[in-house]
């Protein structure tokens, strides 16, 4: 299992666009990828659930990646997050 | 790529749902079928049929509906077209459109998306 934290920059947090793009990204990997915000944990690929977390800029979220391709998935996820401005 | 038809009593609502879904899945084919020919509120058999024909492709079509009679009109269309890979999804139209199109954009097949939409 690989976990890492990420502090959101987008004022609207994980709204429909970033949550949708995040879901597309995580679906490329076999690993189970969850996101925890404000004490709630949801699967990163369920974008409606991700949006319901009600995150905003400055919130720190925890990503957990577990599975056979967790190393590749975690690395890709981090660069996706940096690049997306989420 | 699985395509989508958004059926609504209102043309604005159908277009709006598609605009929202395009924010995270712009590459997915989406076709509106909102309101009646004269622009008033209602669901139009012809508009839905035309939209499904436009959407039809090898990967299949998912039709999303807003309220009651949109379901009935769509059912009549599906019976008349009798296409195997065209399905109607139940559930909240905005959540279904956003979730379904992201799944289609990431390569999910018709059945897999339909299964996922049942959890909304």
The DSSP line for chain A is -EEEEEE--STT-S-HHHHHHHHHHHTTSSSEEEEEETTEEEETT-HHHHHHT---TT-EEEEEEESTTHHHHHHHHHHHHHHHT-
How many Cβ atoms from other residues are within 10 Å of residue A27's Cβ? 17
The band of B69, judged by pLDDT with boundaries at 50, 70 and 90, is confident
Residues of A in contact with B18 (CB under 8 A): none
Residues from chain A that touch B98, judged by Cβ atoms under 8 A, are 16, 20, 47-48
CB contact under 8 A, B106 and A23: yes
ipTM over 0.85: no
**CB pair distance less than 8 Å for A28 and B106:** yes
Q: Do the Cβ atoms of A45 and B96 come closer than 8 Å?
A: no
* Contact between A44 and A33 (Cβ < 8 Å): yes
For the whole model, what pTM was predicted? 0.88
Give the pLDDT band (50/70/90) at residue B33.
Answer: very high
| Residues facing B8 on adjacent strands | B34
- A16 closest CB neighbour out of B98, B105, B108: B98
Q: Find the mean pLDDT for residues B1-20.
A: 97
CB-closest option in B24, B105, B108 to A17: B24
Given pLDDT bands bounded at 50, 70 and 90, which one contains residue A24? very high
Q: Note the pLDDT of residue A58.
A: 95
Instruction: Give the mean pLDDT of A73-80.
Output: 96
> What pLDDT is recorded for position B103?
94
Catalytic hit among B9, B35, B47, B49: B9
Assign B39 a pLDDT band (cuts: 50, 70, 90): very high
Of residues B18, B72, B20, the one with CA closest to residue B42? B72
**Higher confidence at residue B99 or residue B69?**
B99
Cα–Cα dist A6/A11, whole Å: 14
Judge whether A21 counts as a catalytic residue: no
pLDDT tens, position by position, B78-103: 999 988 899 999 889 999 999 999 99
Q: Which pLDDT belongs to residue B82?
A: 81
Residue A60, Cβ density class (10 Å: 0-12 exposed, 13-18 middle, ≥19 buried): exposed
β-pairing, A60-66 vs B3-8, is unpaired
- Report the gap between the CA of B76 and the closest CA in chain A (Å): 30
Taking alpha carbons only, the member of A33, A84, B89 closest to residue B101 is B89
Instruction: Give the mean pLDDT of B56-65.
Output: 95
- Comparing alpha-carbon positions, the chain B residue that sits nearest to A49 is B120
């Amino acid at each position: 299992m690989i976990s890492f934290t990420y502090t959101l920059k987008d004022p609207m947090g994980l709204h429909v666009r970033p949550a949708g793009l995040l879901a597309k990204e995580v679906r490329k990997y076999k690993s189970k990828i969850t996101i925890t915000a404000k004490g709630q944990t949801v699967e990163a690929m369920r974008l409606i659930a991700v949006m319901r977390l009600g995150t905003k800029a400055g919130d720190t979220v925890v990503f957990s990646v577990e599975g056979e391709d967790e190393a590749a998935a975690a690395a890709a996820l981090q660069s996706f997050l940096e690049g997306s401005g989420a | 790529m699985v395509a989508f038809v958004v059926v609504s009593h209102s043309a604005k609502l159908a277009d709006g749902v598609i605009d929202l879904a395009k924010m995270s899945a712009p590459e997915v084919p989406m076709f509106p079928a909102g309101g009646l020919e004269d622009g008033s509120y209602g669901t139009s058999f012809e508009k839905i049929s035309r939209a499904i024909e436009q959407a039809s492709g090898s990967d299949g079509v998912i039709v999303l509906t807003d309220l009651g009679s949109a379901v009935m009109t769509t059912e009549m269309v599906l019976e008349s077209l009798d296409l195997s890979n065209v399905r109607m999804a139940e559930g909240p139209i905005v959540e279904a459109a956003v979730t379904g199109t992201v799944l289609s954009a990431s390569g999910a097949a018709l059945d897999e998306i339909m299964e996922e939409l049942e959890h909304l």
